[in-house]
Amino acid sequence: MTDTMARILFAVLSTVRLRMVSRMVCRRFPAVLAVVVLAGCAADDTPRPMHVAARVADAVVRLDVSEIPAGRQITTVALVDPAGIEIPAREREVITREEGRGGNAGPGVGIGASGGSSSGIRPHISLGYLFSGDDDVRRSQRLTAEIPLSDPTAYAAGYRDWRVLVRYRDQLGQLQEVRIPAPPPGQ
C-alpha cells in the first residue's frame, strides 16, 4: 500500500468512525471500506515510466528508450563522464507506432448463399461501404540513439563512474531527467 493510499484510508476511517451514530451506518461500513480500498488500488492516470536500456557495441553506446508516454518530449540523450561532461547522442531516431481496432473503412464486397437442399441454393453478392466502428488508437513511441566513444579503453576502465542521461519535458512542460548506470563494455 502506498503512502497516499494509507493517508486516504486513514482519513476515511477517521471520518467514518466519528460519524457512526446509527446501526445502519455500522452495517454498511464493511461495504464502504471495501469500495474505498478497491478504489485506492485501482490504476491511476499517471503516465507509465518509460524504459531506458543501453549497451555497448563497436565502440558505440546504443540507447533504446521505449514506452514513451504521449505528451512527453525527449530533449536530450547523452552519456555523462565521471567529470560530469555530457557527450550528446549524434544519431537519434524516433519511431512512432499506431495500433487501431475496429476494422477498415472503405468499400466492401460480401459473397453469400441462401436456401437449402430442397429449395435450391441462391448465391448473392452484396456491395457496400464499411464504416470504422472504433476510433480507439494506441500510440507508442520509441527512441534509439547512438553515442560514439572517443576513448573506448578509458571507458572500459571506469564505466562504473559513467551515466546515461535522458532529459525530457513532461505533459506540463516541466523539464525532467532519468539517469541510469552506463553499460559495461561488450554488452
pLDDT value of position 25? 44
Mean pLDDT, residues 5-17: 59
pLDDT value of position 117? 53
Output 173-177 pairs: Cβ under 8 A, ≥24 positions apart. Answer: 175/75, 177/76
pLDDT value of position 56? 95
CA 175/CA 187 separation, integer angstroms: 30
Calculate the alpha carbon distances from 82 to 137, 152, 157, 159 in Å: 43, 14, 12, 9
CA 34/CA 138 separation, integer angstroms: 32
Read off the pLDDT band of 128 (50, 70, 90): confident
At residue 170, the 3 state secondary structure works out as: coil
Distance of CA 128 to the CA centre of its chain: 38
User: In this structure, are residues 168 and 176 in contact, taking their beta carbons and an 8 Å threshold?
Assistant: yes
Name the DSSP letter for residue 87.
E
The domains located in the chain, with CATH, are 3-41 (no CATH), 51-97+140-181 (2.60.40.10), 102-135 (no CATH)
Tens-place pLDDT, residues 19-55: 444 444 445 545 444 444 444 544 445 556 789 999 9
Q: Which amino acid is at 127?
A: L
User: In this structure, are residues 147 and 87 in contact, taking their beta carbons and an 8 Å threshold?
Assistant: yes
